[in-house]
């Protein structure tokens, strides 16, 4: 059958063999096409009509495709349905290709490895995780390439499900040889991640160490605190290898590796999180009427993502808990400054995902300007925090980096409102690049140049009837009637003879013609190069921008808690290491809001002590709010 394949089908199958269990979007002119089983799947998932294409002796083959400019519409549908998608592009201009056009895969998009906005929830991380098992222990790593977050840890194998439950990965990468063991450990996982099985050698410690050292350009892994954690290294290396293979490029936004310590947080299994309705309502499984819907007063997307981590991974360290409470209190007690702070935070875009786009070459000019505008808010934040004058907040302010170098770089290069697309000559400021300016001027000031040139030539030659014109066949020309032929300068080169006139050209006119006719192509070429250089310079400050993003996210969460406390009259709890839980007039945060202002929630007090009152028996008829009381008491524990 292979001998009967057309050249196109042969090329398709050669590429497809490299990407098993992956839908291949094959660029064919102005369309992405899928063939065979991929076409059948694509047709069903995307609602595209399934057709057939004849491939000579190979016969008809199912076919489904869509215009290349609709990639952002159809690719997310395939990935949301749980499929891996390989994007295969034309690597040369078909007009200059000899034989079949060269093609290859430039990106593989999976449920856990994606930078497409339509596949990302602004207030939710999109993790791809990896698990490696050995003798009752496990290495676990997770990475969100849209933010650059990368963490790893070593835990008992029995804790794998618990840690994955807190991370909620979209995809889990495992060894083919360990799939049965791992499937047993993750039974009942609420996130239901897509499972990707890879070859066993990818999960080796030596291979993982090599991948990590090469990516981070370090001599060892001591700086990350994992040098002796072989399983953690294996899991992290496998994840990074998988990401590099799918992205087909370096991922500069993954600039650090964090040792994740699950013991720092209170474990909340799926049943606990569901019963307490922390993220989702028990009744309709939506965020509405959940605890997070009440507390999420964040002003930024990255703050929203961090808040979700904070309330699903409650701290156990008393000092850290107290530090957060004190900071919230300081912001709450400065009512006017809190409002100003929230306004400033609302003007900050998603720095984490913006810098990831910059690093991967996906950020457009307008997004780079948005990055600058967000960084311009940092000095304002520092000033407000200094005025509040609380140690925790002052410390946070001192760590914030205004990144003036990035602001100046973008300010110098780009106009205030650049076009999204490159190539129109409306991205870079005048005088940023002299060559670009000349082509932009040629494109947009052609009539003016021709008019000026014509006047100059009339003055120099004394031929008042001389005119400069253009035809699609002969290009630009200088036309002189036969009456004035004796005045034509020697440097004029004859181009065309008419009945009553001659048409000429000059070296200057030829150069201008070449420039103006190729202006659009040159503008596109120059803007592409200059913008790539600008992104590369910005990417050098990735770690600093990510550090600012984390600090701003933390401040956003603290401010959100202060705002919720202000709106709902919450008080600051006293937290200690005792075994006593004492609540005076406790209110259920969600039920209270559902009742509204007309129906007042009746407060309940609770006193529990492990020595004298560890067990309480709650009785009463159905619908008497027993579970409401239990939940409010549970939520009030010193988490």
- The reply to whether 284 falls in a domain is no
Cβ count near 400 (within 10 Å): 17
Q: Same domain, yes or no, for 219 and 150?
A: yes
Q: Same domain, yes or no, for 391 and 340?
A: yes
Q: Same domain, yes or no, for 520 and 552?
A: no
Q: What is the CATH number of the domain that holds 519?
A: 1.10.1420.10
Quote the pLDDT of residue 402: 95
Distance from C-alpha of 425 to C-alpha of 444, rounded to nearest angstrom: 9
Quote the pLDDT of residue 638: 34
Cβ count near 85 (within 10 Å): 26
Q: Same domain, yes or no, for 244 and 222?
A: yes
DSSP 175-233: EGGGHHHHHHHTTT-TT-PEEEEE-GGGG-HHHHHHHHHHHHT-S-SGGGT-TT-HHHH
Distance from C-alpha of 208 to C-alpha of 242, rounded to nearest angstrom: 11
CA distances from 5 to 107, 138, 372, 457 (A): 26, 47, 53, 63
Quote the pLDDT of residue 639: 30
SS3 label, residue 569: coil
Number of domains, the chain: 5
With left for phi above 0 and alpha for psi between -120 and 50, is residue 622 left, alpha or beta? beta
Distance from C-alpha of 231 to C-alpha of 210, rounded to nearest angstrom: 14
Contact, 141 vs 152, CB < 8 A? Answer: yes
Contact, 475 vs 509, CB < 8 A? Answer: no
Contact, 508 vs 414, CB < 8 A? Answer: no
- The reply to whether 369 falls in a domain is yes
Q: What is the pLDDT of residues 23-82, one digit of tens each?
A: 999 998 889 999 989 999 999 999 998 888 765 555 678 899 999 989 989 999 999 998
Q: What is the pLDDT of residues 495-517, one digit of tens each?
A: 999 989 999 999 999 988 888 87
Contact, 208 vs 234, CB < 8 A? Answer: yes
Q: Same domain, yes or no, for 126 and 256?
A: yes
CA distances from 401 to 342, 376, 413, 548 (A): 19, 11, 21, 6
Distance from C-alpha of 306 to C-alpha of 298, rounded to nearest angstrom: 10
Helix residue spans in 426-541 (DSSP H): 434-444, 446-461, 507-517, 519-539
Burial class (CB in 10 A: 0-12, 13-18, 19+), 635: middle
Quote the pLDDT of residue 637: 40
- The reply to whether 410 falls in a domain is no
Domain encompassing residue 550: 296-403+543-568
Quote the pLDDT of residue 61: 84
- The reply to whether 291 falls in a domain is no
SS3 label, residue 110: strand
Distance from C-alpha of 616 to C-alpha of 626, rounded to nearest angstrom: 12
Give me the residues of the chain with pLDDT under 50, please: 1, 635-639
- The reply to whether 423 falls in a domain is yes
Quote the pLDDT of residue 616: 72
């Amino acid at each position: 059958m292979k001998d009967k394949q057309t050249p196109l089908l042969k090329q398709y199958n050669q590429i497809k063999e490299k990407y098993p269990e992956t839908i291949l979007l094959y660029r064919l002119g102005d369309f992405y096409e899928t063939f065979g089983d991929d076409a059948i799947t694509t047709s069903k998932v995307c609602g595209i009509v399934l057709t057939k294409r004849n491939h000579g002796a190979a016969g008809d083959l199912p076919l489904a495709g869509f215009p290349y400019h609709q990639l952002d519409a159809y690719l997310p549908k395939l990935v949301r349905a749980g499929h891996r998608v390989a994007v295969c592009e034309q690597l040369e201009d078909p007009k200059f290709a000899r034989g079949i056009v060269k093609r290859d895969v430039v990106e593989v998009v999976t449920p856990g490895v994606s930078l497409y906005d339509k596949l990302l929830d602004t207030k939710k991380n999109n993790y791809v995780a990896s698990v490696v098992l050995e003798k009752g222990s496990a290495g676990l790593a997770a990475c969100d390439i849209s933010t650059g977050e990368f963490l790893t840890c070593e835990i008992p194998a029995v804790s794998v499900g618990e840690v994955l439950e807190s991370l909620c990965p979209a995809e889990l990468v495992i060894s083919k040889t360990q799939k049965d063991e791992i499937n047993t450990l993750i039974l009942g996982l609420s996130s239901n991640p897509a499972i990707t099985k890879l070859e066993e050698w990818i999960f080796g410690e030596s291979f993982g160490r090599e991948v990590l050292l090469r990516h981070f350009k370090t001599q060892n892994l001591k700086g990350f605190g994992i040098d002796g954690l072989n399983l953690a290294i294996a899991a992290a290396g496998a994840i990074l290898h998988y990401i590099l293979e799918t992205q087909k490029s370096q991922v500069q936004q993954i600039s650090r590796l964090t040792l994740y310590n699950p013991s720092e947080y209170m474990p909340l299994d799926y049943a606990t999180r569901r019963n307490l309705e922390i993220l989702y309502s028990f009744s309709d499984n939506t965020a509405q009427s959940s605890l997070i819907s009440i507390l999420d007063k964040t002003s930024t997307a990255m703050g929203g993502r961090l808040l979700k981590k904070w309330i699903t991974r409650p701290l156990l360290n008393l000092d850290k808990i107290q530090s957060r409470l004190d900071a919230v209190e300081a912001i709450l007690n400065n009512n006017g400054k809190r409002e100003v702070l929230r306004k400033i935070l609302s003007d900050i875009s998603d720095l984490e995902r913006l810098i990831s786009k910059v690093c991967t070459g996906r950020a457009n000019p307008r997004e780079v300007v948005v990055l600058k505008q967000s960084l311009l808010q940092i000095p304002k934040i520092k000033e407000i925090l200094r005025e509040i004058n609380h140690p925790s907040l002052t410390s946070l302010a001192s760590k914030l980096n205004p990144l003036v170098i990035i602001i100046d770089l973008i300010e110098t290069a780009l106009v205030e409102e650049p076009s999204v697309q490159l190539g129109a000559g409306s991205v870079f400021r005048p005088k940023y690049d002299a060559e670009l300016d000349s082509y932009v001027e040629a494109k947009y000031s052609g009539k003016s140049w021709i008019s000026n040139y014509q006047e100059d030539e009339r003055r120099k030659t004394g031929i008042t009837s001389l005119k400069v014109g253009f035809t699609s066949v002969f290009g630009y020309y200088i036309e002189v009637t036969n009456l004035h032929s004796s005045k034509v300068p020697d440097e004029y080169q004859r181009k065309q003879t008419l009945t009553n006139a001659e048409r000429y050209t000059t070296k200057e006119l030829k150069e201008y013609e070449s420039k103006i006719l190729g202006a659009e192509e040159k503008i596109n070429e120059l803007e592409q190069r200059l913008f790539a250089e600008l992104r590369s310079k910005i990417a050098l400050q990735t770690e600093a921008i990510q550090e600012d993003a984390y600090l701003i996210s933390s401040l956003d969460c603290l401010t959100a808690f202060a705002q919720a406390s202000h709106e709902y009259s919450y008080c600051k709890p006293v937290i200690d290491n005792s075994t006593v839980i004492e609540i005076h007039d406790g209110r259920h945060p969600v039920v209270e809001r559902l009742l509204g202002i007309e129906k007042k929630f009746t407060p309940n007090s609770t006193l529990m002590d492990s020595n004298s009152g560890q067990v309480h028996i709650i009785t009463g008829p159905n619908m008497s709010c027993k579970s409401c009381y239990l939940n409010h008491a549970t939520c009030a524990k010193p988490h």
